[in-house]
Amino acid sequence: MATSTQHRGSVLPAGASGAELTTLRRAFELARRGPAHGPNPRVGAVLLGRDGATIGEGWHRGAGTPHAEVAALADAAAHGHDTRGATAVVTLEPCDHTGRTGPCSVALLEAGVSRVVASVQDPNPVAAGGADRLRRGGVEVVMGVLEEEGRTVLGPWFHAVRHGRPFVTLKLAVSLDGRVAAADGTSRWITSDVARRHGHELRSQVDAIVVGTGTALADDPELTARTADGALVEHQPLRVVVGLRDLPAGARLHGPGGPLVQLRTHEPADVLEALAGREVRHALVEGGPTLAAAFLRAGLVDEVHAYLAPVLLGAGRLAVGDLGVTTIDEALRLDPVHVQPLGPDVLVVATPRPREA
């Protein structure tokens, strides 16, 4: 992380001017226009000409499309701007590898950019090294500017790439007495329309929805992301069922939606390894209680989204199966991140604290 220096009375990250910080905030806005799902990060880039005026803007629109820097260079070219001597302000270190597109470091060098201000260092060992190549090419590079904000914009992607496995969100739709189904196994619906719509938005932002065979057999779910009027949204996450039992041929999971994968294992780590192999960066585990407990016990839940409904069931399955907690000191504690009313329900987003060994 960059150290800080005093600049006109305010604390600025070392090396970045006030105008560059303002520009970087604009680049964060641009980055957020990109899709939250998919194997690639959300990245924004702004080019400043020699006089400090913006001459090009770009963001990454998803795998296979130009990276933000290349999009910004194209924008500058389309408007007849000279990029020689320009400053590129980017939310992520320019990549240095050829994947579906070429290295951004090379594109910036070829465009004659003389300075790069970047927020987050690329955690991807395959793509990193852009800053070094640029420096070797004579470009001044300032890195680590507004890094915390930059990581927030990158979201689950940053965590997934750094840890080499998908970021896992565990979603629960829970009655006030902690249950996810009534005594007969029915669970439609515990939460309100508003909460369920929110859940569909979440689905549209992830790469995979994961359930156990118990849920697949009891609920016959579609596991699709839908709009308020029931239409399928454009991006449909992979549908993943974990467990050994076969799904019936007529299961709704075979209907329209994302590709269906069954993983015949009980090991959450194996599930995540298989999903990482399919370029899944963000997996949404939607239960049931057995699978939820397995992921929690394995320490493989990064965030919990609990939709709490003002309803009491008195009997029926509890949200999470056995965690091996026998006394209150062993409880799995979570830190709340966000609490949001959703119609009659409340969404609690919280992150599990690492358990002491």
CB of 309 to ligand NAP, least distance (A): 9
Catalytic residue among 20, 69, 286, 303: 69
Q: With respect to ligand NAP, which residue has the nearer C-beta, 59 or 295?
A: 295
Q: With respect to ligand NAP, which residue has the nearer C-beta, 109 or 311?
A: 311
HEC string for 245-280: CCCCCCCHHHCCCCCEEEECCCCHHHHHHHHHCCCC
Backbone angles phi, psi at 239, to 5 degrees: -105, 125
CB of 178 to ligand NAP, least distance (A): 11
Q: Give strand pairing partners of 262.
A: 241
Sequence-distant (≥ 6) Cβ neighbours of residue 275 within 8 angstroms: 165, 166, 207, 208, 210, 238, 240, 283
Q: With respect to ligand NAP, which residue has the nearer C-beta, 141 or 306?
A: 306
Q: Using CA atoms, how far apart are residues 23 and 329, in angstroms rounded to an integer?
A: 48
51 closest CA partner among 15, 13, 26, 19? 19
Q: Is 69 a catalytic residue?
A: yes
Going by the DSSP 8-state scheme, the letter that residue 132 receives in this structure is H
Residue 275: other Cβ atoms inside 10 A: 24
Positions that interact with ligand NAP (CB under 6 A) = 172-173, 180-181, 185, 187, 190, 211-215, 218-219, 242-245, 266, 286-291, 294, 317
Which structure tokens are listed for 48?
A: 């400043």
Q: With respect to ligand NAP, which residue has the nearer C-beta, 168 or 180?
A: 180
CB of 256 to ligand NAP, least distance (A): 21
Report the residue number whose CB is nearest to ligand NAP. 214
CB of 284 to ligand NAP, least distance (A): 11
Q: Name the residues annotated as catalytic.
A: 69
